[in-house]
Structures are given as structure tokens and as C-alpha cells.
Chain A
Amino acid sequence: MLHTFIALVDNKPGVLTRVASLFRRLNINIVSLTVGETEREDVSRMTIVCDAPENAAFRVRASLYKLETTRNVDEVGRSEAVVRELCLIKVAAGPNAPHGLQSRTQVFELAQVFRARVVDLAPDSVMLEMTGSASKIEGLIQVLRESGYEILEVSRTGRMAMRRGAHSSKVMKALGSKAHQTVFDGNEDPDALDPMDSLPNQFVEHET
């Protein structure tokens, strides 16, 4: 089954190797991994999607935490988070393609339905850019294929995920945030679950 982890890690050289090496050691295949900067200069954010047995998730999370460079790890289900992926697709279309010029208009129409954008137009090809959930992206690719288009190239970023609502106080603490320090008044059990962590999210996933 697929698991999606969000890891906040130190923004330093070599951190990606440590994370990747961990999955290698656990013999778990990474489906996708995105890394990028965050709202904080010293923290990078990784969204890691991996294929592992259901009971492996706890161990992956615990092992990720064991890396000295990890500040916080969260596993997100679909309903609690917005999960998005960016994809570039190049299809053969244009005057020289099998169905000639008509093929282009058809691609434009498909793009519109899927809310993809045309970002490049060449005599023989059209490049589409699409953001959305993985299943929507796969939907577009499938429709293109079934409509007889030759797909020349696909480049996908892999999933990025963000929990809905505010950061949990736990995450803010892991990041050592000053702004949220008032939240922790000595008496509070630092490890008590936040309502954020335990309550199922009220929102239903709705696509843009």
C-alpha cells in the first residue's frame, strides 16, 4: 500500500542521502520523493511516497525520526491533506501528426477538460502542463493514449502534500518556533495528541 510522509529536515548538504539511504536499507521502494525549500530558511520539506506493507508505516516514521537531521515526520492520509503533483506531457500533434492539424484542436479540448495548460507548441508536438492529484494526471495520460496520441515525454514531479488547517503545535515545537511558544505552558503534556492529529478531518477533498 502507498504511504505518504511529510518530513521536515535540516536544509544541509547530505540530508537527502540519509533519507534515501534509510529506505534503501529497509528495502522499501520510493514511489516519489520531492524536496524543496520551505517558509523557513533552515528547513527543507520532503514529501515521500513509498510502497510498503501497512504495518511498515510506523517503523518508517520511527526510523526517519532517528536521523539526526529530521525535525518532524508526519504521515498523511488522503482526506486530511491536499496532495498535488505537477506534470509535463509532450504529445505528438500538429500538421505532420497522423490526424494532421485536427489533432491539435483535439488536444486543446482535452486539456481544457482536465484543466491542463498548453505551455509549448511546436510543428510536431504540444506540451501540456497539469497540476492535480496523481489520479487526475494519470487520467489525462490515459485519455491521450486511448485517443491514439503518441506520448513523446512525460515528466512528473511526484507528490507534494500539505495537511489542511494550521500547523500542529507539535510541528511548531519541533521547528523551535518562537511565535508559537506561548502555546506551551510547562503544564501541557508535550506529547499529548493534538486534536489535529487525532480527529479525522472534516473537509472533503475537492479539486480546483
Chain B
Amino acid sequence: MDLDVQHTAMPHPPTLTGAEIVWATLAGEGVSTVFGYPGGAILPIYDALRKFPIHHVLVRHEQSAAHMADGYARASGDVGVCMATSGPGATNLVTGIATAMLDSIPLVAITGQVASKVLGSDAFQEVDITGITLPITKHNFLVTRAEDIACTVREAFQIARSGRPGPVLVDITKDAQQATAVFDFEMSKPRAYRPHPMLHSGLGDRNRALELIKQSRKPVIFAGHGIIQSGAEREVLAFAERHGIPVATTLLGLGAFPASHPLALGMMGMHGESWVNHAIQNADLLLAFGMRFDDRVTGNLAHYAPNAKKIHIEIDPSEINKNVKVDVALIGDLKEVLKSLESSLGKQDPTSLQDVGHPQSGGSKEGARGLATETWDQTADATRAWREEIRSLKGDASVRDIINLPDNGHLYAAHVINDIWQEAKAAGRLADTVIATDVGQHQMWEAQYFKHEDTRSLITSGGLGTMGFALPAAIGAKMAGPDKDVWVIVGDGGFQMTAAELSTIQQEKLHINIAVINNGFLGMVRQWQEAFYDKNYSNSPILSPDFVKLADAHGIPGTHVRERKDVVPTVTRARTGSETFLIDFVVEKEDGVYPMIAPGSALHEMVRRPTKDPLLETSED
């Protein structure tokens, strides 16, 4: 069958089975890769696949299919697609769908369902998946007729990618897959996207925002995930440079603003640098760009940024005043709102700083972490004193940094991550490197020590914090960008949750670099038990198989690394090889992530890094 689905106005729209319509519609939406797992209720769809130019990746667990589609979407910006059969296949998707929901990732999940005449009868492998996923999808559909498939799948794509993106599930009964209907891609176009009626703020708010910006002497920009979602990286950079405003980043905002930029402060919040959090507490204006004041970012709300006015630019009106009461809310797509702000500002402010060049990525280490470039002192006069003040807040932070401590013979996770970053930078591959992390201590160390210069270079589960995410998400990212160097950074605990996907890597013949940060513990749990539960290590020590042998069983080469000197050569070996390589980094067992804000504490009450040896007591700030 030759289906030219993308061409409009077919003279004689073909009659296809529902299963064929699924693929034809996906192809029409530009899908080239889907991740899934077959089963009874979705067999007609799998049977029809051979007629279509779409690559299906067979996963080892449906949760991974959703994570792969998620990783694919995060890396590419396109909608990721996953599939599963009814019942257990569908329920296995749930964690992956929720992960995408909490991070606003555009995803379409297609599930098979029992025949429509037995719906609701507890038929074999029947589960009410639209009911189950109601609160964890942006929207979902149950389709019982072949003629509804094309328009529903198209609407699912539109919903997934429009506004604040999110996952959409389409549950298709087996009889709908088997029946036939006329397929006309163009005619199945969903009705025009319905923008949220509360979008677009009035002129009054915009003027008020401009007024606050002009009055501010101590502003900080918060760079969130929304920058990446909106594609507003350049606008944010231009805005920050023009006004000389320092930029702090959320976990999911890493990469949205280049880490080596003189205005970049790095990550804020629970494990942000303490001087960054102090800067926020001292600020007089916060400009929140596409972020939602998550509790990991704000700490104790009662003491949060007490002197700061707040401007919130956000596409989802329901986020306004949810956690933090703001002074001005500009509701809309960040890129557009920033453009309109700048055009109003342009008229008022002739001393534009827009011509100040953006330094090359991969700048000096000092530049990456501080505000050390003279250019900024000379240009943005209004905030110069403020930038001085932030610099002074740094104090001895860099001395405390483990990276700068003398080698004591121990291998620390921070070293490993720093070296992976340095190695990529030295090889000129930084702009082509994508890191997928799992959840735990290693995730925070990655955020602290890998300096992300480029958008979509970090893939991590922020909102849900889903262990087991890294490996499948990396597979999705690699399929989205085969020319990228893709790294998995994962703990020994999380790796064992989805390690079966090593087999998928081999079946797909992918080259992915896997760095297991092996500390023999569920490290982040251990750290909390150390800090808040009297070192009662209840079920946090974890036994692992020999990961190198495990990889070997899959035909994947690998090695253990126990000493700092072996890190870089092994990383180079993995990166420059032609196949997947696993490195088991055997690191310090009882290392902690610092700085840290204890739950309930305010941002300025951080537990800082130890001054000498990280294994010694920590000092209160």
C-alpha cells in the first residue's frame, strides 16, 4: 500500500482498517519512531505496522516505553509516542505518563482496549485506563469506532503539544482497530486550538512589570523549563544581557541559559549553591520565566525572598499565585511575552545593551560559576553594585567545593561528573552531548557539576523524581539524535529498576554511554536518614550484581573505575567507541550532597559544604 498521507485533499480517500488508520495518522503527524510492547488487545495495530514507514522499538517493560517516548520528546521537542496493550500493558505505562505530566512533556500514549461490546464487564485484560490516567494526563480519549480514530489521534497530538504541553492517552477498542473506515488525514484535522481564555494579560500588567524592572536594583531572573518549552532561550539571553540581570536556574531549566555566561548563577533551591539562594533572599525583584515555584526551589514559603517584588511569566494561569503570591502575572507564551516586553522597553530605554556579545560557551571556570567578567561591570551600570554583592556572597564557596579539595585517594561522584563534563568539553563535544540522569544524589551532583551550555542537553525527571528513568530516557534521546553523545548517569539503585533495557539497546544497536554511580546505597535515602533519622539506615544499603558482568551478559563491554586517574581515560574510551559501554564508578559510600536546605527551612538556612573533608561534620551557615 502506498499511502501518501501528508498530501492534502486526496481525490479518493482510501478505506482502511482502524489499525491502519492509527499508523497512517501517526505518519501524517510526522512520527518516525514509536516505543511499545504488543499484546492481545493491540495486535491488529501491530499487524498493520509492516505497511508503514515507522520504526517500532520493542521495549522490555511498558514503563520504559513511556520514558523513552518522554526522552525522545525532551531531546527533540517533538511529541513522543508509546504504545501498549490493554490491562497490564496499560497500567505499566502509568509511572511513565505521570513522569511526563509532572514535567509537561508532550507525549501520546496509545493503548489497546477490549472490544466495545464487553467494555465494563471485567473482560480478560480489561482495565479502565482512561479512568486511571485521568489525573495524570492532560487529556485522554476512549475510541470505539474506526471512523473516530484519525480525528482523535490528531486531536491528541494537538493537545499534547499546545499551550502547556503534556501527555495524552488514546485508548482504542479492538473492534475499532479491526473495523474499516474512510481515511482522510486532512479532513480529520482537529478544530482550531483553543487557547486558554485567560491567556494574554492586559497592557496594564505589562506596564506595571516594566515599572518594577526599571525601579529594581537587585533583580534575579529565574530560568525555568518553560524557556525550553517555549523556545525562548535567545530572548531570555538578550533580556538578561540588556538589563544586566543575573540568572538562577531551576533543575529543569538547566541548559536554558548557558552556564558559563557571566550572568549565570547556576541552580537554585534545595541543592543550589548557598550564595545563589542568599542572592534570592536579598533580591528586590524576581523575574520568574516559565517556572512554577516548586517547593524544591522555594524552601519555607513564609521566609521566601521577603524583600522581592515578583513578576511571573507563565503559560498556565492556574500556576499564578499557587505557591508564591506575585505582584504581576503575565500570562502567555514566554517568547511572545518577552518580545512584547522588550518592544515596550525599547521605546523607553535608549541605552540598550543588546550589542554586548555573548561569550563563547565553555568559558573559564570562574566565569561559569561567578560574575567575573569585566564587560558586565562596564555595561549594565544599574545592577553593577548588585552583581558585586552577589560575588561577595560567594565567600569561601569555591574553597569548600570538593572539586578544589586536595586528592585524598577517594573517588567522589562529583569528580566523576566533573570529569565527564571536562572530557566532553576538551573533545569539543559539549554542544553535542546529552545527559540523562536518574533520581537521587547523582542527579543533584550532575546538576551541580556538569555545566550545561545548551538547551535540551539535560534530561531528568524533575517533578515526579522517577527512579529508573535515566536508561530508557537516554534510549529515547539517542533515537531522537543519533549523532549526539548520550550519557546515562544513574545510581546503583535506579539502574536496577530498568536495567532490562540494556537488551533493548542491543536489539536497536545503539551507542549509549552508561555511568553507574555505585555507592552501595540508595544514596539520597541514606543521606536523609543520616541527617534526619539518626543514621538508622533502614533498607538503604543495596546489594547489586556486578554491573560489568551484567553488561557483558548483554554483549555490552564495560569496566569498573575506582580511582580518579582512571576516570577520564575510561570516559574517552566509552565516548569514542562504536557501541554502548558501561562504566561502574565505585565511589565513596557515605558522601552527601551539599549545600542542602532541610525541609521546612528557609533558603538562607542552608547546610553548607564541609570545609575540609566531606566525610567530616558539616557546619551550619
Contact = CB atoms under 8 A, between A and B. Distances in A.
Interface string B275-312: 00000000000000000000000000000000000000
Interface residues of B, number: 20
Contact of A72 (B197, B200, B317, B322): B197
A62 B321 CA distance: 11
B128 to A, nearest CB: 11
Interface in A7-56: 14, 17-18, 21, 25, 55
B225 interface: no
B321 A174 contact: no
Contacts of A191: 197, 199-200, 202
B321 A59 contact: yes
Contact of B135 (A14, A25, A72, A174): A25
A170 interface: yes
Nearest to A170: B197
Contact residues of B: prevailing secondary structure:
loop
B202 A66 contact: no
B352 to A, nearest CB: 28
Contact of A17 (B134, B197, B198): B134
B135 A58 contact: no
Interface in B313-366: 316-318, 320-322
Given A170-B197, A191-B202, A62 B318 contact: yes
Given A65-B197, A68-B138, A174-B197, A14 B130 contact: yes
B320 to A, nearest CB: 7
Contacts of B131: 17
A159 B187 CA distance: 41
B324 to A, nearest CB: 12
A65 B317 CA distance: 9
A18 to B, nearest CB: 7
A12 B252 CA distance: 36
Contact of B318 (A17, A63, A72): A63
B318 A21 contact: no
Nearest to B200: A191
Contact of A18 (B134, B142, B198): B134
A164 B202 CA distance: 26
B600 to A, nearest CB: 21
B318 A68 contact: no
Contacts of A61: 198
Contacts of B197: 65, 72, 170, 174, 191
A62 B159 contact: no
Given A17-B134, A62-B198, A191-B197, A68 B159 contact: yes
A17 B128 CA distance: 13
Nearest to B317: A62
A80 B198 CA distance: 21
Nearest to A69: B139
A21 B134 contact: yes
A8 to B, nearest CB: 11
B318 to A, nearest CB: 4
* Best-surrounded residue of A62, A67, A170, A174 (most CB of chain B within 10 A): A62
B535 interface: no
A66 B139 CA distance: 10
Contact of A59 (B130, B135, B159, B318): B318
Given A21-B135, A59-B322, A65 B200 contact: no
Interface in A66-89: 66-68, 72
Contacts of A170: 197
Contact of B198 (A14, A55, A65): A65
Contacts of B549: none
Contacts of A25: 135
A58 B316 contact: no
A49 B131 CA distance: 24
A68 B139 contact: yes
A18 B137 CA distance: 11
Nearest to B158: A68
A1 to B, nearest CB: 17
B208 interface: no
Nearest to B130: A14
Interface in A169-189: 170, 174
B327 to A, nearest CB: 15
Contacts of B135: 21, 25
B319 to A, nearest CB: 8
Nearest to A173: B197
Contacts of B130: 14
Interface of B: 130-131, 134-135, 138-139, 142, 159, 196-200, 202, 316-318, 320-322
12 contacts: A21-B135, A55-B321, A59-B321, A62-B198, A62-B317, A65-B197, A65-B198, A65-B317, A67-B139, A72-B197, A174-B197, A191-B202
Leading 7 A-B pairs by shortest Cβ distance = A62-B318, A62-B317, A68-B139, A63-B318, A191-B200, A59-B318, A65-B196
Interface of A: 14, 17-18, 21, 25, 55, 58-59, 61-63, 65-68, 72, 170, 174, 191-192
Given A17-B134, A58-B320, 16 more contacts: A14-B130, A14-B142, A21-B134, A55-B321, A58-B321, A62-B198, A62-B317, A63-B318, A65-B198, A65-B317, A66-B196, A67-B139, A68-B138, A174-B197, A191-B197, A192-B202
